[in-house]
Amino acid sequence: MSLALARKYRPATFDDLIGQEAVSQTLSLALDSDRLSHAYLFSGLRGSGKTSTARIFAKALLCEKGTTSHPCGTCSHCVMASESRHMDIIEMDAASNRKIDDIRELIEHTKYKPSTARYKIFIIDEVHMLTKEAFNALLKTLEEPPAFVKFILATTDPLKLPATILSRTQHFRFRNIPQSVVAKHLAHILNLEGVEFEQNALDIIARSGAGSVRDSLTLLDQAIVYSKNFINLSTVTNMLGIIEPSVLAKLLEDIIAKDEAKVLEFIKGASEFESEMVIDELMLYLKEVLLSGSHVIKPMIIERFFRVLAESKSLLNMGADGEFVLSLTLFKMMEALQIKEIDAMIRSLEKELSGVEVKKVAPVREVLPVQVPVENVTANVTEKVEAQTAEQTVVNEPAPIVEEMRAEELVQEMEPMLEPQIEVPQEVVAPEPVVETPLDEGAKLFEVLITKMYDRNYDLGECFKNSIAYMSFNENLLTWESSASTEEKVLLRNNWSMIRMFVQDLFGFETKIKNISKELPSPVEKPQPVTPKEPTPTVENDNFNPPMMDMEEPISMIEDEVLNQPINNMPPIDDEMPMKSSCIAPEAGDTEAAKEKDERTILDEPMVAKALELFAPKKVRVKRKG
């Protein structure tokens, strides 16, 4: 009975392994030096030799000649291991035995010594398929198994294994086998089988195997039957359902030549193939062209072709019509050829700019007119005429009549300039350059203050912005100018506590305000003599100070009753009296606000009573200022 090539030519020793030199060398040295671990993990692509390596390693451990990297192959243990019937080599498929009960049964086997051999070896294939509970049950036994137990785990997806499993095993990673190595191995097997072949056909089979020896051997077994013991390029391409490389080369030539008729002919002939397969073959062929170094197609063009093919793959994944996607892809590849290289574009731009003259424009300087006496202007004009006449006489030697006529014409042209109005020329004042002075810190804070007003109350912000103008802020003194009307003054007074809170928050708690009322002109201005007066002394109070016109004060009310009064009715700046809202104002008359408050009745004041009602303090202490 014939066996599949993958089983018939399965490696029996470490020397038979192909493409895994690092793994075979490490395990051989561990066997020869007797530095063995209790658990091993083999991971890699399917058909890369994981299970074969596990069986070779198990046979090397059980050989009667001792643990060696070259088992004899003739003793009973080697023979039984080669025939997969050794009682102490237990293979388990974790894909079908993945539950915790299967692992419990395996753990129970580890309690008993091997029947005939030196070790009891457990080979668990596709170990990543075990459940979470099964992994947890295996942890303790895998970490500290009996001395006669060895575990060999194999998987194609090590990322699915818990970190606790990975930390308890020696991990060996099996790499993908190169295409050239696989093709060489296939040729060796065909020579042993006595089958004729073409090397190009074996290259296609090895490429289709994608680094897996088992997949390549399965395709080779199929090719031997299909080709009737002669494997050539046409039989392999027909068997695999792919396009021959020569056809793809001709297609790329037609695309580069932009021969739409031949491209359409190829699309009609490729209807029997899958569109995705054609696109994949084009990618592989472009890869071979790039790596061959032939420079038939420039790398920039190959990169553009690859982008077009990658986009077509995404369209196919969306379920689009295959033939339409293939047609669109090939025509987009022709459009991708319409590019210019950077060097060519630079040369073309330089050629275009070579005939353009770039002239430097001299800066225009403004010349202000200068007052010159008429006599000097006349003398200068006469000298200029004589100089021009003499110059033309030396060069051209014109007739004397012509010279006199030209001189007369020049004098006539200059006559308007010799009129008396030249004596007082209009002075042209050059515009001064506008220098934008940056805002000082106080102005920036004032802008923030207006913004906060808008955020809290739009009407208040609009009123504050239109009626209050920032002037300066120095040494905790905020100076502003007010032009509030009567209605705006009422609104500002009603919201003064909030304005004061914002000012303290932005400018500092110790900030004082210098309020300057903007004086409006009276309907009939009559000059009145201003008699200087002695400044009125004021008594400061820490608790409350009245807003004063053009005087330094702590944060207080903004306006007073005389806001927007005519200039002739306004008191002089030096003679301004404090507002009558002050607690102590000797010159304010007998108003209620001017009287000093009695500390015994201060709690009965409406404002204090309202504050007590609002804050509800437990204790109130009234202290007279000394």
Listed residues 191, 218, 240: the one ending a domain: 240
- The pLDDT score that the predictor gives to residue 567 is 36
Higher pLDDT, 357 or 224: 224
- The pLDDT score that the predictor gives to residue 408 is 55
Q: Which token pair is 550?
A: 């053009």
Is the pLDDT at 577 greater than 80, yes or no?
A: no
pLDDT tens digits, 283-340: 988 888 888 877 778 888 888 899 999 999 888 888 888 889 999 999 998 888 876 6
- The pLDDT score that the predictor gives to residue 100 is 92
CA pseudo-torsion sign 259, 264, 267, 269: negative
User: Do residues 218 and 306 share a domain?
Assistant: no
Q: Specify which residues 153 forms β-bridges with.
A: 41, 124
pLDDT tens digits, 424-458: 444 445 555 544 555 577 888 888 888 888 888 88
Is the pLDDT at 537 greater than 60, yes or no?
A: no
- Domain membership of residue 218 (yes or no) is yes
Is the pLDDT at 548 greater than 70, yes or no?
A: no
Mean pLDDT of 471-480: 84
Least confident segment among 10-14, 31-35, 170-174, 390-394: 390-394
- The pLDDT score that the predictor gives to residue 205 is 92
- The pLDDT score that the predictor gives to residue 510 is 80
- The pLDDT score that the predictor gives to residue 541 is 39
Mean pLDDT of 178-206: 91
- Domain membership of residue 253 (yes or no) is yes
Least confident segment among 122-131, 533-542, 600-609: 533-542
**pLDDT, the chain, mean:** 77
Neighbours of 559 (CB within 10 A): 25
Is the pLDDT at 91 greater than 60, yes or no?
A: yes
Is the pLDDT at 345 greater than 80, yes or no?
A: no
Mean pLDDT of 8-25: 90
- The pLDDT score that the predictor gives to residue 104 is 93
Pairing of strands 120-125, 149-155: parallel
- The percentage of residues in the chain with a pLDDT greater than 90, rounded to a whole number, is 25
- The pLDDT score that the predictor gives to residue 398 is 42
Mean pLDDT of 24-41: 92
CA pseudo-torsion sign 8, 14, 19, 24: positive
Q: CATH number of the domain that 21 lies in? A: 3.40.50.300
The listed range with the strongest mean pLDDT (58-72, 397-411, 594-608) is 58-72
Mean pLDDT of 196-214: 89
CB 445 within 8 A of CB 506: yes
- Domain membership of residue 530 (yes or no) is no
Least confident segment among 102-111, 151-160, 317-326, 355-364: 355-364
Is the pLDDT at 126 greater than 60, yes or no?
A: yes
Is the pLDDT at 581 greater than 50, yes or no?
A: no
- Domain membership of residue 614 (yes or no) is yes
User: Do residues 386 and 452 share a domain?
Assistant: no
- The pLDDT score that the predictor gives to residue 557 is 42
- The pLDDT score that the predictor gives to residue 28 is 92
Residue 468: what residue type? I
- The pLDDT score that the predictor gives to residue 438 is 55
Q: Which token pair is 321?
A: 């019509």
- Domain membership of residue 310 (yes or no) is yes
- The pLDDT score that the predictor gives to residue 314 is 87
User: Do residues 400 and 468 share a domain?
Assistant: no
Nearest to 123 by CA among 86, 161, 177: 86
> What's the total number of domains in the chain?
6
CA atoms within 13 A on the CB side of 143: 10
- The percentage of residues in the chain with a pLDDT greater than 70, rounded to a whole number, is 72
The answer to whether the predicted template modeling score (pTM) of the entire model surpasses 0.85 is: no
Neighbours of 71 (CB within 10 A): 27
User: Do residues 305 and 198 share a domain?
Assistant: no
Q: CATH number of the domain that 273 lies in? A: 1.20.272
Distance (Å, whole) CA 436 – CA 618: 57
User: Do residues 29 and 160 share a domain?
Assistant: yes
- Domain membership of residue 473 (yes or no) is yes
User: Do residues 104 and 200 share a domain?
Assistant: no
Distance (Å, whole) CA 623 – CA 626: 9
Q: CATH number of the domain that 200 lies in? A: 1.10.8.60
User: Do residues 160 and 51 share a domain?
Assistant: yes
Instruction: Kindly state the DSSP code that residue 594 receives in the 8-state scheme.
Output: G
Mean pLDDT of 374-381: 47
Place of tokens 């805002």: 439
| pLDDT band at residue 355 under the 50/70/90 scheme | low
User: Do residues 186 and 212 share a domain?
Assistant: yes
Mean pLDDT of 194-206: 90
Is the pLDDT at 39 greater than 90, yes or no?
A: yes
User: Do residues 215 and 272 share a domain?
Assistant: no
- The pLDDT score that the predictor gives to residue 625 is 65
User: Which structural domain range is residue 479 located in?
Assistant: 441-520+541-582
Mean pLDDT of 359-367: 50
User: Do residues 82 and 222 share a domain?
Assistant: no
- Domain membership of residue 431 (yes or no) is no
- Domain membership of residue 285 (yes or no) is yes
Is the pLDDT at 570 greater than 60, yes or no?
A: no
- The pLDDT score that the predictor gives to residue 368 is 47
User: Do residues 224 and 265 share a domain?
Assistant: no
Higher pLDDT, 331 or 567: 331
User: Do residues 25 and 143 share a domain?
Assistant: yes
- The pLDDT score that the predictor gives to residue 184 is 92
| pLDDT band at residue 383 under the 50/70/90 scheme | low
| pLDDT band at residue 129 under the 50/70/90 scheme | very high
Mean pLDDT of 595-600: 66
